[in-house]
Structure 1
Amino acid sequence: MRKWLVAVVAFFYSIALLAQQPLQPSEPERFTRQDSLRGSLRPERTCYNVTFYDLNLSVDPVTKSIAGSNTIRYRVRAPFKRMQIDLFENLTIESIKQGGESLKYVREGNAIFVTMKAAQEKDAVEEIKVTYHGKPREAVNPPWDGGFSWKKDSLGNDWVGVSCEGLGASSWWPCKDHLSDEPDSMRTTFRVPRGLKAVSNGRLLQKQDVGENQTEFVWAVSYSINTYNVTFNLGDYVLITDEYRSRDYRYLDLNYHVLRYNEAKARVHFEQVIGMLDTYEWFFGHFPFWRDGYSVVETPYLGMEHQSAIAYGNNYKNNAFGFDFILIHESAHEYFGNSLSCIDPAEMWIHEAFATYMESIYVENTDGYPKAVKYLMTQKPLIKNKYPMMGPRGVNYQHKDTDIYFKGTWLLHSLRCVVDDDNIWFMALRKVALERNHKFVTTKQIIDILCRETEKDLRPIFDQFLNYAAPPVVEYRVTEKGDFIEVQHRWIADAKGFNMPLKYRFAYGPWHTLYTTREWQTTLIRRSQGWLNFAYELQYFGARIYQEPIQKQQE
């Protein structure tokens, strides 16, 4: 066996782990009645669309409790006398009223079914007010296993934050807790111990002392917002302000709410925000929540993409590539996740894959393409291949691992290689961001836009990566034939018609393409100096050498 062939075998042995079969669950996953009530769109939910929330709470860190109300304004889509709202059953409802009159309601776990006194007529705009109190769930491992984080800063001051993606906004305030419905705008009012500052989404409208020992803060969001993005933060915060000038000379307010004793380090650390915003604007358009401004809040947990109040708790640390990945990743969600939003947790790959991919775009724009590839290669070993990236719909599905992040970003990186034209590829991504700006989006819509803009049918590739746990595996055999190398190759893949073109080269020479399908193909390649290798740094796949005569299998 020649040296170049030995190199091929050694190379593929190094990535053979990617070809492992996924570990399938021993039995189908079971979902509860509560999963369906939370995740499905029943008539009691589809009959109305929320247009505005007015959340008004007193927060007591001593008792770890909250008390207040939420007014839900909605437009009637279809006539009804019964509606569903959501609030965790550990929180006590004092009353639900419409027009000052109490309404009857029944609880089924975390779902609340409200009976109206008068029929709600189509296209009418109505309101109900829910008054409640209690001790909200405490976070176990925030932000992944979230809730309220009741902490103290290093000087002993109360430091509180909330994270509820997956868990649900209804863990602490009554709402229509489904991704498919966002209010057009929102107001939040918090009364907190005097001497501390409450920070929420959007812009601060008013601050005033109330009672003997409380201060009231009123915040307003002027855009639509996911319910899980609504947040509350409490601490001894100081405000650092700055300004970003866009490429067309528009000015964006930058606000950093940080613990008082971290002000100096925060001023230096957050200087990277300007370059990040410039990168994201160049690739995806203006920052999507311009009126509300760009804001970061220091939190007692790692981070979360709370709209116009990004949670930051990475202790002002940059990674080995010279940037703070929490800051870069969570800010990317303002484009993919907050502006452009999926309507079911089953499609959460849209939020996480694109936001993670934007990290590598930031690295490439800052330090060049080779550095970006190195960054992507650090994420590749984190892929598990145990579950499909698309989950079941209608049951508030929660993904069990991080493949929607890292396998998702490698799906997009692989598609860049398939498109093989960076101008076309990045303009297609920009189209996705701009066409679905401040809109809901489905997987099909994402795929349709990318296929249209690249003029390539990428559907079989999306099908394999999203709907099946196993990665595509190239099965191949190499034979010497004089001045040529004969490569017999095919894809082992579940997706019908899977045909991802596969890049190869000799040593560090130029890339060439094998047009591999699920059927055996034979390609003669003129021998060149160096070893033959496939594009492990450009695409995600497994590989294995085929040992038996191919003719026997075809017989």
Structure 2
Amino acid sequence: MMKLPALASALLLLSPAIAAQDVVAERTAQSGLPLDPVRASMEVPRLALGFTVDPASRSLAGTADYTVTVDTPQDRLAFDLDPRFAISGISVDGQALAPAAWSNPAGLLTITLPRALAAGSRAQIRIAWHGAPHVAKRAPWDGGFTWARTPDGQPWVASAIQGEGCDMFWPCLDHPTKRIGLLDLSVTVPDGLVAAGNGVLIGEDHAGGWATWHWRARQPNNYGVTLQIGPYRLAEAQYRSAYGNTIPVQYWHLPGDRPEDVQYLLAGMQDYLAFFEDVVGPYPWGDEKVGLAETPHLGMEHQTINAYGNGYKRAPEGYDWLAQHEFGHEWFANQMTNATEGEMWLHEGLDTYMQPLYLLWKNGRMAYDVALWDHRKRVLSRVPLAAGDPAATGDYLDAESGWGNDIYYKGSWVTHTLRLLIGDTAFRESLRRLVYGRPDPAPGNFAPVRRTTADFATIVSEVTGRPMDWFFDAYVRQAALPRLLEERQGSRLRLRWETASALPFTMPVEVQVGDRVLVAPMADGTGMLDLGSADARHVIDPEAKILRDDPAITAWQAQERAAEAHAKD
């Protein structure tokens, strides 16, 4: 997802500290809560998911035909589902269950099985439900449905549920560790509307004033499953990949859009594709498509059908920042998925860094530096990027903690510092191993992976041949940024790193003296340099390679907060 604008930082959802009476809101408003033993045992090799969406009543009816396997014996199954929906019926292996066999009082739909499942066995579960989904107050940051109208008055519908999860409109396993092996998605809408979906379009049927659009997708990320509906027109191109395959690039847009805008966006998508394939590796869904659908909200990284609502705004750097950012999530969210919600910096931080890196690739060093400096001014570092507890989740919209801010901008700067520390060759290999699970990805030889910060640290250590725990502990597990303390005695400059980590912070430091650049290795977190003379002027880290505490930025941020508060009075 894109970062929320600064003015939206005092927002909308609930904190993790939620009163008992709000347990329903907690379950449906926060994705990735710890799994109970029943859901932890379940896997979904296949799902046929069908929706009938009625814009007139702002409601939907759905059926989910699940193939479920369990790895431990179970006499119950469970799914997450917003309890605002009514259950029409449930069957197990074709046997209809009595209503007493299921309950969904707090958003955890629990089904008592007619016979227990042995470990390693499977069952066919059919769930039918209907109702009016939660309406997003400010999509995509407050998740739910957007029921809008196109400029000429036609229905325009979009779902966006990253933080809240798939249970906002269908029964699912709402956790990043649970993916569907193969999804068959059918969406029925009033005739004249198009339902743009995940994966490959299998076909469409029209009868009785309704149209059904059939899609098939492999291994979708749960929050990436989406409904995007409108009177769309399709624009497309074919991209010839450096990996030898040809990838469809498809964009479902409103009929009144200017053709030159549509073509500009299509051309940009192909340029972004060339960048990501060059720097990271092959597009993960090349056997399906690169897809976008125009939406009434700003955007979201739905797998192979990214939501786009930036209105074709062109940045002075000559690209569409929103389209580039959301597309990057095909690698950093949909192919490589964080193992817990608390590790979301692996999605957002790595992907946010791909913006300045793309500008370096496209426009050169100045564009990179300008974009990165903008990111640096937004780093808050009030809480860790990722907590030590692997089950912990962050509060994305808590303005005081700033976690939902730092996963983007601090994550970007951590990645910048890492790249310049280990070099481009090691950085690119580390990214490939992180994203694909192997150093030699090619179309067809990899599958989606789940990752943690510890995985990333291990990969970088293996690639570089040196321990990297000190780096990730100081930058990701601790809240405060490393501080570099200086002491000048004549021509001698003593340096010492100070961090909250128990591990020595061994980040080497460059110091410019005239036209010379000296390097303090900082092997134990301290270093000393002879600058040549007592009056020599020096500049620490002249190329701004290192993310570190900067009192000037801290003072500026306080000044900006005070000015904003004064303006509100």
**TM beyond 0.5:** yes
Q: Does 1:171 align with 2:174?
A: no
1:480-519 to structure 2, matched below 5 A, reads: 480=490, 485-506=491-512, 509=515, 511-516=517-522
Q: Does 1:532 align with 2:512?
A: no
Figure out how many residues of one structure are paired with residues of the other and give that number.
511
Structure 2 equivalent of residue 92 of structure 1: 86
Instruction: Decide which moves more: 447-456 or 231-240.
Output: 447-456
Q: Deviations over 1:59-95 (max 9, x none)?
A: 0111110012111211221111112111001111111
Q: Does 1:316 align with 2:316?
A: no
Pick closer, same or farther for the CA change 1:128–1:285 going to 2, 3 Å.
same
Structure whose CA Rg is larger: 1
- Give how far 1:159 is off: 0.9
Q: Deviations over 1:186-222 (max 9, x none)?
A: 01111111111111111111111122x211111110x
In 2, Cα distance between equivalents of 1:280 and 1:530: 41
- Give how far 1:162 is off: 0.5
In structure 1, the gaps of 5 or more residues are 1-27, 546-555
1:128-527 to structure 2, matched below 5 A, reads: 128-211=125-208, 213-221=209-217, 223-264=218-259, 265-391=261-387, 392-394=389-391, 396-399=393-396, 400=398, 401-419=404-422, 421-435=423-437, 437-480=447-490, 485-506=491-512, 509=515, 511-516=517-522, 521-527=527-533
The answer (yes or no) to whether the contact 2:513–2:531 under 8 Å persists in 1 is no
The answer (yes or no) to whether the contact 1:51–1:184 under 8 Å persists in 2 is yes
- Give how far 1:121 is off: 2.0
Structure 1 equivalent of residue 17 of structure 2: 30
**Structure 2 letter corresponding to 1:128:** I
In 1, Cα distance between equivalents of 2:436 and 2:328: 14
The answer (yes or no) to whether the contact 1:503–1:535 under 8 Å persists in 2 is no
**Structure 1 letter corresponding to 2:466:** K
Work out which structure has the larger RCO, using CA pairs closer than 8 Å and 6 or more positions apart in sequence: 1
The answer (yes or no) to whether the contact 1:499–1:515 under 8 Å persists in 2 is no
In structure 2, the gaps of 5 or more residues are 1-14, 399-403, 439-446, 553-569
In 1, Cα distance between equivalents of 2:342 and 2:175: 12
**Structure 1 letter corresponding to 2:545:** L
TM-score by length of 1: 0.87
- Give how far 1:511 is off: 3.9
Aligned residue among 55, 62, 85 for 2:56: 62
The answer (yes or no) to whether the contact 1:491–1:518 under 8 Å persists in 2 is no
In 2, Cα distance between equivalents of 1:249 and 1:343: 31
Give identity over the alignment, percent.
Answer: 25
TM-score by length of 2: 0.85
Pick closer, same or farther for the CA change 1:89–1:396 going to 2, 3 Å.
farther
The answer (yes or no) to whether the contact 1:418–1:500 under 8 Å persists in 2 is no
**Structure 2 letter corresponding to 1:230:** V
Q: Deviations over 1:313-369 (max 9, x none)?
A: 111112232211111111111111101111210111111111111112211111123
In 2, Cα distance between equivalents of 1:542 and 1:304: 32
**Structure 2 letter corresponding to 1:418:** L
- Give how far 1:512 is off: 3.2
**CA RMSD in angstroms, aligned pairs only:** 2.2
Instruction: Decide which moves more: 307-316 or 201-210.
Output: 201-210
The answer (yes or no) to whether the contact 1:497–1:517 under 8 Å persists in 2 is no
Structure 2 equivalent of residue 12 of structure 1: none
In 1, Cα distance between equivalents of 2:27 and 2:160: 22
In 2, Cα distance between equivalents of 1:347 and 1:371: 29
Structure 1 equivalent of residue 4 of structure 2: none
In 2, Cα distance between equivalents of 1:36 and 1:214: 34
SS in 2 for 1:501: coil
SS in 2 for 1:261: coil
**Structure 2 letter corresponding to 1:30:** A
Pick closer, same or farther for the CA change 1:525–1:43 going to 2, 3 Å.
same
Q: Deviations over 1:478-527 (max 9, x none)?
A: 232xxxx2112211211112324243333784543223377654332335
In 2, Cα distance between equivalents of 1:85 and 1:510: 63
